[in-house]
Structure 1
Amino acid sequence: MSTREIYIVLTGPQGARNIGAVGRAMMNFGVSALRLVRPEADHLGDEARHMAVRAGRVLTEARVFDDLAAAVADCHLVFGTTRRFGKYREDFLSPRQAAILVGEQAMAVRIALVFGREDSGLTTAELDCCHHLLTIPTSAALPSMNLSHAVAICLYEMFSRLPTTASPGQAGVSTPAAAAGVAAMFAHMRQSLAEIGFLNPKNPDHILRAFRRMFGRAGLSTWEVTVLQGLWSRLDWLNNELRKGKN
């Protein structure tokens, strides 16, 4: 794959100048696909264009979405960036580790690098849309980075490890699953496990997030998602048969 398959996703960006600076950083590394989720600033205004310099095309061609799930639905590998640690925020990759993982992909896949709000980052629910968590090692004295600087660091690592042209891949079992298919599988999984009483009704997401991280590290293929969907469907059928027997 190449950097042409990398998508930068900004969730709730608050500063027009930051959006413009991100556009410039993207063009520095041959990336042109920008997606904005509920932007709070005008990405087509003078401030954004001034900071973008000669990367105005990135801004004019940017796509705007109402939610993060829709913005990454067609992507196969989604990295959510965060500097916050704690419950449900573990197993982090550095930008270099993420770039190595991307470079190991056997075919041209769509990669999403997701960045949060300048003041509060990504929510835990938004990180649930991501397959991997990514953090940039920084000094404890000032751990939070400028948005465009963070984008530039991540893209530098990708750019330095990826070819400039996409390599052909294999179809079938090796085809990575798009985020939309994985999300549908998780929705089915949630319903099936809830029906058999496997999930804690007071906090069902606790165990589901463990599965999300597990499957995210594995990097599910389209075929594997289909197999899992079949598993949940079979579980649903067995559960219904047991209920019929009790009646």
Structure 2
Amino acid sequence: MKPVRAFLDNIAVVLHRPHFPENIGAAARAAKNMGIRRLIVVDPLDCDLTRILKMATHAAEDVVATMEIYDNLREALGSFQYIIGTTARTGSQRRTIMDPRDIARRVVSISRTNKTALLFGPENRGLANRELKYCHALVTIPTSQEFASLNLAQAVMIMTYEIFRAAEQPPESFTPKLATSFELEAMYDHLQETLAKIHFVNPENPEYWMRSLRRFFSRIGLQAREVKIIRGICRQIEWYGEKMAFEAVRQVRAQDKGIDSISCLD
């Protein structure tokens, strides 16, 4: 069981804006059932510890005791190198969505060397596009069309169960250490700013144009060194743009001086 423990120690359950303390407690219990001990809660509407512990039971008290609470999602995900978003909705703005069993095998491979987050949205609406942008992959839990709604803790249990089972027979494939979400988001901010300056993206709606780039880089899986290279390219583009702008101003001033000299001679 030691190899399983090693994989699971790198995995965390992240609850974004949960509405009810009971769901936080039940999610903590579900995660503990499947060997995952790290729980992160982001901007909860109610974090009544008594109600959380009532559903977590004494068995998952340690998970609740070490539970991390953040005000915003970007900060909460900053240290993770691979993030999976759960969603029940599909559409043109949501890239290829995987099955829990398939994503579980990928998670086990990646989590050998990378911190991985399972991201769950609010009970009433799930994750919005502005939150899913942080994710490297999306997953939907198949359900009956007659009643597709899942309780938050149920969704946590299904996802963590599939990962637990996949970890019992870890794949031989190896995923190198990836860049953290903090590093990636700084790169995306820098890239967006640079591309807006050269009018490659529409400055009025840059997020729309950045989605394709996010999907592209998520498929590749960037390492920290590659993120630094991309940011270095951005700096070079900015430097070259400033140099050309300075040269253009210098030429205009030179022309103006030439015209003034001719006027003096006249």
Asked if TM exceeds 0.5, the reply is yes
Question: Where does 1:12-161 land on structure 2 (aligned, <5 Å)?
Answer: 12-45=17-50, 47-53=51-57, 54-105=59-110, 107-161=112-166
Deviations 1:167-186 (A, max 9, x none): 9x89xxx3211110000000
Who wins on radius of gyration, i.e. which is larger? 2
- The Cα of 1:141 is off from its aligned counterpart by 2.2
- The Cα of 1:43 is off from its aligned counterpart by 4.8
- The Cα of 1:245 is off from its aligned counterpart by 2.8
What is the TM-score with the length of structure 2 in the denominator?
Answer: 0.85
* Counterpart residue type for residue 241 of structure 2: N
The whole-number CA distance in structure 2 between the counterparts of 1:85 and 1:229 is 32
- The Cα of 1:160 is off from its aligned counterpart by 1.1
Q: Is 1:195 paired with 2:181?
A: no
Question: Where does 1:206-245 land on structure 2 (aligned, <5 Å)?
Answer: 206-245=208-247
- Partners of 2:11 and 2:111 within 8 A in 1: no
What is the TM-score with the length of structure 1 in the denominator?
Answer: 0.91
- The Cα of 1:106 is off from its aligned counterpart by 7.8
Q: List runs of 5+ in structure 1 lacking aligned partners.
A: none
- The Cα of 1:40 is off from its aligned counterpart by 1.2
Q: Secondary structure at the match of 2:78?
A: coil
Structure with a larger share of its residues in helix: 2
Q: Secondary structure at the match of 2:49?
A: coil
* Counterpart residue type for residue 234 of structure 1: Q
Computed over aligned residues only, the root mean square deviation of the Cα atoms, in angstroms, reads: 2.0
- The Cα of 1:219 is off from its aligned counterpart by 1.4
Q: Secondary structure at the match of 1:104?
A: helix
- Partners of 1:44 and 1:60 within 8 A in 2: no
- The Cα of 1:75 is off from its aligned counterpart by 0.5
- Describe the shift of the 1:110–1:228 C-alpha distance in structure 2 as closer, same or farther (beyond 3 A): same
- Describe the shift of the 1:95–1:43 C-alpha distance in structure 2 as closer, same or farther (beyond 3 A): farther
Q: Secondary structure at the match of 1:35?
A: strand
